[in-house]
Amino acid sequence: MQMGWRWDFTFEILPQMAIATLNTILAAGVGYAIALVVGLFFLLGQKTPFKIVNWINREIVEFIRSTPLLIQLFFVYFVLPQFGITLSAWVCGMITIGLHFGTYLSEVYRGALEGVPKSQWEACRALNFSTIYTYRRIVLPQAFPIAIPGMGNYLVGIFKDTPLLSTIGVAELFHAATAVGGYNYRYLEPYTLVGIIFLTLSIPAAMWVRKLENDVNKAQGKIKK
Amino acid sequence: MPGFQNLKENTLTYFEFLNEHGVTLLLGTVTTVKVLVCSMILYVIISMIFGLMRLSKNRAIQGIATVYIEFFRGTSLLVQLFWAYYVLPFFGISLEAFTAGVVALGLNFGAYGAEIVRAGILAVPRGQWEAAHALNFTPAKRIKRIIIPQIFPIILPPAANLTVELLKATALVALVTVVDLTFEAKQINSITWLSAQCFGTALLIYYIIARFALVPFLRWLEVLAARKVGKERI
């Protein structure tokens, strides 16, 4: 076996890796979309006036947040069929990522809502605005910019956690690299390529999030222009 | 479907399941805790070093730290782990699975930790630096005696979050054949097909470690650090 980097092999596997990259981006995008919605539900669970619902909601969030995504993936993938629900690896992966990161996003939402000063609520009460109107026109427009950096961070976070999906057989980038590596018995190029692809996608994304964060801080007057 | 039948045969046998496989899972848990402690020590050291390097006035040192941090934060932990275990042997460095796991975890979380340390140092009031300067402390002494003790109350809350993330991330070392809790759970699953029992138990054990051991320990550290600089926590 030839040691060292082989460029011909690299170019040979590049098209395959590129297609798998699209799958990774798709998985991250779909997972993120689900997480955004799930986060809203967890937020609602926290905001209900029923103490017991709040408590159950908080315990569920705590549980999901402090257990590994990997085992959650296994759990959903292997346990659901026991109850007669057979889902494809893709669907299982998306559900699990959505649930896992939904708990994180609910915290982002909560932080953002709490970031809106109480006086805003009091002013709306004084003006006799309804709760829904207050949320829609006063609170949410102010909370959203606060939530943007956190939301962006978790988009990057989900993107970096998609390789875990390969463990249940979702054909994303890391899965493709392992398959190619196993087939040719060369792991150097495939895994290094995966690393490079991740770097080239996530560093610009992270920089963009940082820029957003800066812009938001500036717009709120926390940093002087 | 074998799993479904097994579940039917084995309803209400969770205690039997624990009786049979509990010891294996506990042994796995011990390995998980070992991985956690080793990578925790490694990541704390790395984040201190690179956090300080990141603030160095020397462009070269600062550059090295920035490249390191961006590299490890920009790629996936799983990729780093597999790289350390499967690719490093190409360069003549063969690490044991446990070592590869701890090193990958330490380097990855060290990059995140370095950012926390950097932010913590920047959050120490400027007057402290100036006062230390005025008292003619050497730069090393300034950092060691004045700045470092003050950053702990600032960096410990975000570091606690990061450490819980580390506990969760230790599950990944199972994929490079470290026989930890996740590995054992997977193994038992492939023998018995009692997926709900083994993965459910594994999830519970991780939860218990996080909620009743790791988090209280980190809170205790926070209180200790706050007391040390004379800021009693309420």
For the segment B152-191, what is each residue's pLDDT rounded down to a tens digit?
Answer: 989 999 999 999 999 999 999 999 999 999 999 999 988 8
- B184 close to B28: Cβ distance less than 8 angstroms: yes
* Spatial contact of B132 and B142, defined as CB atoms under 8 Å apart: yes
| CATH number of B83's domain | 1.10.3720.10
**Cβ contact, residue pair A66, B73, below 8 Å:** no
What is the SS3 assignment for B176? helix
Domain membership flag for residue B224: yes
Cβ atoms of A43 and A111 closer than 8 Å? no
Residue B88 lies in a domain: yes
d(C-alpha A79, C-alpha B117), whole Å: 41
Task: Give chain B's domain count.
Answer: 1
Confidence of residue B194 (pLDDT cuts 50, 70, 90): confident
Residue B102 lies in a domain: yes
Taking CA–CA distances from B206, the nearest residue in chain A reads A67
Q: How far is CA B151 from CA A57, B42, B54, B79, in A?
A: 34, 19, 15, 32
Contact B75 A66 (CB under 8 A): no
Two tokens, residue B44: 């704390």
Residue A148, token pair as written in the block: 């943007």
Nearest chain B residue (CA) to A84: B4
What is the C-alpha separation between A179 and B2, in angstroms, rounded?
27
- How far is A102 from A43, CA to CA, in rounded Å? 9
Nearest to A112 by CA among A95, A90, A89, A135: A135
Let me know: does B143 contact B52? Beta carbons within 8 Å: yes
Determine, yes or no, domain membership for B143: yes
Which residues of A are less than 8 Å from B86 in CB distance? 181, 187, 191
Tokens of B28: 């796995």
Interchain CB distance below 8 Å, A67 and B207 = yes
Binning pLDDT at 50, 70 and 90, where does residue B145 land?
A: confident
* B39 lies in some domain: yes
User: What ipTM is given for this predicted complex?
Assistant: 0.86
Tell me which of A99-103, A204-208, B82-86 is least confident.
A204-208
Per-position DSSP letters for A143-190, written without gaps between them: HHHHHHHHHHHHHHHHHHHGGGGGGGT--SHHHHHHHHHHHHT--HHH
Residue found under tokens 């976070």: A157
> In terms of Cα–Cα distance, which of A214, A78, A182 is closest to B196?
A78
* Res. A223 pLDDT band, cuts 50 70 90: low
User: Is B234 among the domain residues?
Assistant: no
Residue B231: per-residue pLDDT: 66
Residue B1 predicted with pLDDT over 50: no
Domains and CATH numbers, chain A: 7-219 (1.10.3720.10)
State the average pLDDT over residues B23-50: 95
From A159, A26, A136, A93, select the one nearest B77 (Cα to Cα): A159
- Domain assignment of residue B38, given as a range: 2-228
Evaluate if residue B12 carries a pLDDT over 70: no
- Calculate helix-pair angle for B215-228, B148-169, nearest 10 degrees: 180
- Cβ contact (<8 Å) for B199 and A79? yes
